[in-house]
């Protein structure tokens, strides 16, 4: 019987850079897919270039799929704790040609790169758009989704 592909998700809120990298390495992740619309971060080690360099040191590849990031109005809804509004905004966003194209790209990456992990800021995956992305890929491609969490500060 063939092994079922896995898709991980992780958020770095309240988690040191090293702890996130340790968690990814321990899970056997081969590719980190950054699904943030904006890849700059006030958190040390999580801006795009720093993150990619840290991953590379551990043998983990990096890809940024910006069209799978939450639009500004969705980020504002999330900061306000309006998760129902975030979900509606993001569902509408996923119907855009760019988001559809990047969902297809993510499917292809999951099929060939294995194990893949989606990264965003929000620690709790139930309040993050990466959950909905993972659910789409799970239904579409039959992958097993597992949510990771590095050790908090």
- Kindly state whether residue 124 falls inside one of the protein's structural domains: yes
Model confidence pLDDT, tens digit, residues 92-148: 999 999 999 999 999 999 998 779 999 999 888 888 899 999 999 999 999 999 999
**Contact by Cβ (8 Å): 41, 75:** no
Domain count, the chain: 1
Residue closest to 17 by CA, chosen among 52, 47, 46:
46
Range of the domain at 23: 6-147
Residue 8 has pLDDT above 60, yes or no: yes
* DSSP structure string for 55-117: HHHTT-EEEE-GGGSPPHHHHHHHHTT-HHHHHHHHHHHTTSHHHHHHHHHHHHHHHHH-SEE
The CATH number of whichever domain residue 64 belongs to comes to 3.40.1010
Model confidence pLDDT, tens digit, residues 12-64: 998 999 999 999 999 999 999 999 999 989 888 999 999 999 999 999 999 99
pTM, entire model: 0.92
Which pLDDT value is given to residue 1?
39
Q: Residue 6: pLDDT band by 50, 70, 90 thresholds? A: confident
What is the C-alpha to C-alpha distance for residues 101 and 65, in angstroms, rounded to an integer? 10
């Amino acid at each position: 019987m063939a092994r079922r592909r896995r898709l991980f998700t992780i958020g770095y809120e309240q988690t040191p850079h090293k702890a996130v990298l340790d968690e990814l390495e321990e899970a056997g992740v081969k590719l980190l897919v950054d699904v943030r619309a904006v890849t700059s971060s006030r958190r040390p080690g999580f801006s795009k270039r720093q993150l990619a360099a840290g991953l590379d040191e551990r043998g983990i590849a990096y890809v940024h799929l910006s069209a799978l990031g939450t639009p500004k109005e969705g980020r504002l809804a999330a900061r306000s704790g309006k998760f129902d509004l975030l979900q509606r905004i993001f569902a509408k966003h996923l119907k855009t040609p760019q988001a559809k194209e990047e969902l297809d790209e993510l499917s292809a990456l999951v099929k060939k790169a294995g194990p893949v992990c989606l990264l965003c800021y929000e620690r709790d995956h139930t309040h993050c758009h990466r959950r909905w992305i993972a659910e789409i890929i799970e239904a579409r491609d039959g992958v097993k989704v597992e949510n990771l969490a590095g050790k908090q500060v």
